[in-house]
Structure 1
Amino acid sequence: MKLLAAIALSLCLSTAHASQETDACDAHRQTLERQMATALNQDNSAQLDALQAELNKTNAECTPDAIAQKRADALRRHDSAVAEARNRLRDWEAELARARKKGTDQLNIAAWERKVKRARADLDRAVARPIQ
């Protein structure tokens, strides 16, 4: 049951994110179209060409597939950063455990503890970082 709830929540969040992306694309298109109308009224063909190229680029980047791909890439980068932070924390915790088991002096153990603490903070930041 928890799995179904988690899946439903992730689908809602991804739909909300896609809607935000679509809204941003629509707003950008409208801005470009207004600027194109102004350039047309001013008979500024160079600006009109540049704005048309920008509109074409926006249209290509704002397809549902392109938005989904951007979202998947962002999620993959986020997951990779979290996994890397987890691995680093696990490595430092193992080094700290070895140092304690070996009976290393307190100064070195304190240094390992600081590294573990920093790695935990890095992991927390990686998890909390918004997916963009």
Structure 2
Amino acid sequence: MKLFAAVAFSLCVSVAHASQETDACDAHRQALERQMATALTQDNSAQLSTLQAELDKTNAECTPEAIAQRHANALKRHDSAVAEARNRLRDWEAELARARKKGTDQLNIAAWERKVNRARADLNRAMARPIQ
């Protein structure tokens, strides 16, 4: 009976959130709650227990703090990828400058220029990549 009251209460509670991740969490919760209601009407306690565990996991992962932490981690990964691409570009540009200063032949300079151009393209891709 307590479980029925918890399911009924959770079906009645709905919270609107602005972020897509929060909306996805809400949609997942609602789907689980619908499945729990069906399992309850079918008196399927094993399925109900499994769904309750999944709902508990979803609720733990969908707190504002957990969402903010995931976003912060994604931002850190993005910034790290951009920094790595910048460092690689800086290294290749330095090698190209050394080759030019040294008077290296045009074939080698062209090879360094290709590396610099690829590094620039990699940096542009890293900067344009969405934060996920």
TM-score by length of 2: 0.82
Structure showing the higher helix proportion among its residues: 1
Which residue does 2:80 correspond to in 1?
80
Write the mapping of 1:10-29 to structure 2, written as runs, cut at 5 A: 19-29=19-29
Q: Give the secondary-structure state (helix, strand or coil) at the position aligned to 2:43.
A: coil
Q: Which runs of 5+ in 2 are unaligned?
A: 1-16
Cα distance between partner residues in 1 of 2:43 and 2:110: 71
Asked whether the 8 Å contact 1:32–1:55 carries over to 2, the reply is yes
Per the alignment, residue 64 of structure 1 pairs with: 64
The higher radius of gyration belongs to: 2
Please state if 1:50 is matched with 2:40.
no
1:18 CA displacement: 6.1
Aligned residues: 116
Structure-2 separation of matches of 1:121 and 1:109 = 18
Q: Equivalent residue of 2:130, what SS?
A: coil
Residues in 2 aligned to 1:130 and 1:19: alpha-carbon distance in whole angstroms: 15
Instruction: Report percent identity of matched pairs.
Output: 89
Task: Give 2:38's aligned residue.
Answer: 38
- Following TM superposition, by how much is the alpha carbon of 1:42 offset from its aligned partner in structure 2, in angstroms? 2.5
Provide structure 1 residue ranges, at least 5 long, that are not aligned to the other structure. Answer: 1-16
Aligned to 2:12: none
What do the CA deviations read for 1:60-107 (whole angstroms, capped 9, x no partner)?
011111111111111111101100000000000000110111111111
Q: CA RMSD in A?
A: 1.5
SS of equivalent residue, structure 2 residue 93: helix
Per the normalisation by structure 1, the TM-score is: 0.82
**Could you say which residue in structure 1 is the equivalent of 2:128?**
128
